[in-house]
Amino acid sequence: MIFSFLLSGLLSASSAKAPKYVFLFVGDGMGLAQVSLAEAYRASVQGDSVGFWPTSFSRFPVVTVTTTHCATRRITESAAAGTALATGHKAGEGSLGLDTSGTSRPNLVDLAKARGMATGLATTVSVDHATPGAFYAHVSSRNEFHRIGKQATASKLDFLAGAPFLAPDSAGLPSLWDIAKDSGFGTIHGRAALAARTLPRVMALPAGPARSALPYALDRAKGDTSLVLADLVREGARILERASHKGFFLMAEAGKVDWASHRNDARAMIGEVWDLDSAVQEALAFAKRHPKEVLIVVTADHETGGLALGAGRTGYWTDFGLLRHQTLSQEAMEDSLARPTPAWDGPAAFSALARWTGLGERKGLELDGSDSANLRETLAIAKPKLRAQTLAALATRMLAAKAGIGWTSGAHTAIPVPVYAWGIGADAFQGRLDNTDIHRIIARSFSPGK
């Protein structure tokens, strides 16, 4: 249904009319290789060993690339990149909402509000993390979490959703939860409560114990009803639509594409890209109910990991389907291996890694002498936490290498990232862009003709 809608006449909607509803999706750390690997993996598990199973946004009529450098380095980080997307100004690393002179700059939330639109942010990480923070905060350091959270409560947002504040109760300072309540935010927890909510000024958080992020898609148990990005986008759009008759601006971040790529955890990263795709499909479903009124933009703040589909060890051969044997994220493996019980001696650790990744047990994942030596050497590390981290990282990298996947870094890169656009005004996203251009084009759509 969604794909047939994509292929309808709305694909080439004119930019002469301003969109009433604007969705901006940011896959944190999501380069073209991350999208391509997710698509190739889906094709492989469907039995196609050479092709790609496209995401919904890969089928958008406008596809281009954008540079991501910050004011001081060719390789950016999320605060500076988020600031460029949100304000249209380059920033130094670590600052939010400030240009290089330290001047606060209006962001897309401010500009949408000035037009009378409702505004919202959704993320799979904490609501005060760098990317969402760039759309409401003005601070010199992304690590000023209490100050950033206080600015969130004082912002012009009608909807804020993701994992809880990282520092809500700093010593000697008012609780951010009390400030949020006094600011008119109704805090709700879990999918059912969010779906029932009708009033504006909503802060949506997961049910259960506080976490710094929503769980990886790979770690969700079958039948899990915890919040996912698609829920936040679907219900956020519903709440924002009721908040203003003039439309809305909603930014949604898939923050853990970046986290998995930092760890070089290919399988966990793939799950996060497809979770983003599910969220984009919610925007497309909304657009189907509001023909000729919606703009959807999907991009990234930077690429993470220097991911390559192909590795020296396997030459021109790849088998990305081997990743299906990984059943836990690297982070979840670390957590399990770091627990004091059971005692992770050699046999127990080997058995667990084989169960979680298929290494040494599945065809194509046989262990050679070098693999076994590396594992034994890692098991000899004395400190349990370091041993757990190293074992989990070694296992996921072994699996990736055997599948034909290469990583050059555990950090960000300067590779330009993709931009996908659909709907009213999508044709403005043409040619090679800079991330500040994405702000400029969306901001112009709020005030057409200016």
Distances (CA, A) of 282 to 11, 72, 252: 17, 37, 11
CA distance 269 to 422: 24
Query: Are the C-beta atoms of 95 and 82 separated by less than 8 Å?
Result: no
One domain for residues 281 and 362: no
Taking the chain (450 residues) in consecutive chunks of 10 residues, what is each chunk's mean pLDDT? 50 64 98 98 96 97 98 97 98 96 97 96 97 98 96 95 93 91 92 86 88 94 87 96 96 98 98 98 98 97 98 92 98 89 76 94 94 91 89 96 96 98 97 98 79
Tokens of 245: 């008759």
Backbone angles phi, psi at 16, to 5 degrees: -65, -30
Q: Residue 288 and residue 407: Cα distance in Å, rounded?
A: 39
Domain that holds residue 325: 312-406
Same domain assignment for residues 369 and 438: no
The per-residue pLDDT for 341 is: 64
Instruction: Please report the DSSP string for 40-89 in residue order.
Output: HHHHHHTT-SS-----TGGGSSEEEEEE---SS-SS--HHHHHHHHHHS-
Task: With beta carbons less than 8 A apart as the criterion, state whether 407 and 311 touch.
Answer: no
Work out how many domains the chain is built from and give that number. 2
Same domain, 159 and 228: yes
8-state DSSP, 16? T
Could you tell me where the DSSP H helices lie in 115-166?
A: 130-133, 145-153
Looking only at the bridges linking them, the beta strands covering 417-423 and 294-299 are antiparallel
Give the whole-angstrom CA distance, residue 177 versus residue 409: 38
Same-domain pairing of 353 and 418: no
Q: Which two tokens stand for residue 319?
A: 């088998």
Smallest Cα–Cα separation from 389: which of 332, 345, 435?
332
**Residues 247 and 291 grouped into a single domain:** yes
Q: Quick one: 303 and 318 in the same domain?
A: no
Say whether both 175 and 238 belong to one domain: yes
Same domain, 395 and 421: no
Q: What is the rounded distance in angstroms from the CA atom of residue 241 to the CA atom of residue 247? A: 6
Q: Are residues 429 and 370 in the same domain?
A: no
Q: What angle do CA 241, 436, 443 make, to 5 degrees?
A: 35
Q: Note the pLDDT of residue 16.
A: 53
pLDDT at 208: 79
Judge if 322 and 303 occupy the same domain: no
Domain of residue 299, CATH code:
3.40.720.10
Q: Are residues 414 and 402 in the same domain?
A: no
Single-letter residue type at 200: P
Q: Which two tokens stand for residue 333?
A: 């493996």
DSSP secondary structure string, 213-235?
A: BPPPGGGPPTT--S--HHHHHHH
Q: Let me know whether 341 and 270 are in one domain.
A: no
